[in-house]
Amino acid sequence: MTRLTPITFEDTDIDQIASFEGRIAVLVDPEGRLSAGARRVNKLTRGALQRLVESEKFQAVKPGQSMVMSYPTGLAAEAVDVIALPKSADQSHMRKAGASLAKTRGTADVLLLAAGQRRISELGYGVAMRDYAFEDHKSKPKAAQGGVRIMCSKPQEAQAASVRLMAIAEGAHMTRDLTNAPANILTTTHFAERLAEMENLGLKVEVLDEEELAKLGMCTLLCVGQGSDSPSKVVVMRWEGGKKDAAPLALVGKGVVFDTGGISLKPAAGMEDMTMDMGGAGVVAGVMRALALRKAEANVVGLVGLVENMPSSNAVRPGDVITSMKGDTVEVINTDAEGRLVLCDVMWYAQERFKPAAMIDLATLTGAIIIGLGHENAGVFSNDDALCDAFLKAAKTEGEGAWRMPLGQAYDDLLKSRIADMKNIGGRPAGSVTAAQFLQRFVQDGVPWIHLDIAGVASVKGETALAPKGATGWGVASLNRLITNMFEPS
């Protein structure tokens, strides 16, 4: 797993500044006032820092952004990163500042002078989130990241706050690692093994094989993987940190390790990106890791359906009729609409076995959601306003884009089949909505439910605020916050 940047907090000692090798970072508020550490840097550089802060270029720098003084006279450091940041900066700007520092520092050690700055642990979180590179399969990976030492006013408090944030960052890194991994490495078997390893964190992990799934009647899930040599699996991860009698939150993830589209074959161009079609399962795994690392006081069960969708003589065909675990029959119109076939069985199993207080599923489900929302927001579908509003609030707090989408009978009617209880697609119009309507048919009465279509946000071609291009880890922070707000003692 990708290693988190070592971040430590300590008391300010300005006598160390002159001899520190690596990079020094200072925080400067919009009025240009310098902290004690920054004043020492300014003195050692013979006023160079003050001149930079008073320049027109620095005045145009936005909160959280930085300018660099390279090879400054009077210091052993290779550079000074000057970050514009008000002392009362909010969480978003603090994280942005950390990400900015992570981008400029390369692999160098960093000494950050932050005496008097509030929410300094949030800046460390920004560093940890942006300091990510997936290099597992490069013959010559980059040198390991250096550490970040943060000199601040209350280091013990900052360190304590950082423990929780680093758990979230580690969960997001796990999600990124899984989502970035190639399909010849991250097979269904290897994926299950990676999740089983989290038993050493205190999770209870079960791996259900094809024989067990068949006995349970998970035929819609099994039909997706029947054209592949990789065995289909369902992995159940339980974190039991809450009251013994408290019903858990159920998180359900789509884990299609590679999606060719099956017999309804996808175009060749861009198919290599379908290694990320297990992104929903990756988020569930990352959330479960974060909860275990921070010892969350909540009961949460994470379930992921792991399959590979391949064309072969054994593959499910358009026109086939499959019976779900629920007992409803599905006419398969398009084998490339496979994610909902995986999710519906796992969702039904989660409700039958765990009687959850609420259920949230995540999937890179439809290209239609990208047409509607681009790569800025995940689509949010829900049958419960309170749960949905709580999630949207959590996502906004964490800076992860999410937008509520509609549900309704007219959309559901598009799924009617002549020969079965339903079709697996409703046609081109409102494709992401009809996919959600399909899943809602497998939500039991009285169960608050959210469906998150993360096709546009799980992996992107350009960098985001806290991630380089590629897998983002979207959703780990938002779901963690939702669990904190709704399912843990206040």
* Phi (first) and psi of residue 41, to 5 degrees: -60, -40
Bridge partners of 27, per DSSP, are: 83
| Pairing verdict, β 459-460 and 470-471 | antiparallel
Give the H/E segment covering residue 225.
helix 219-225
Any idea what DSSP says for residue 124? H
Of the candidates 460, 91, 488, the residue with the CA atom closest to the CA atom of residue 290: 488
- Angle at 377 (CA atoms; ends 372, 383), nearest 5 degrees: 85
| 46 is an active site residue | no
- The Cβ of residue 119 has, within 10 Å, a number of other Cβ atoms equal to 18
Catalytic residue among 95, 105, 254, 340: 340
Other C-beta atoms closer than 10 Å to the C-beta of 472 total 28
In eight-state DSSP terms, residue 424 is: S
340 assigned to active site = yes
**477: nearest Cα among 95, 28, 89, 35:** 95
Q: Which of 39, 118, 154, 266 is catalytic?
A: 266
Residue 102's identity, in one-letter code, is: A
Distance (Å, whole) CA 269 – CA 243: 50
For residues 343 and 435, the answer to whether their CB atoms sit within 8 Å is no
* Cβ neighbours, 10 Å, residue 468: 19
Provide the annotated active-site residues: 266, 340
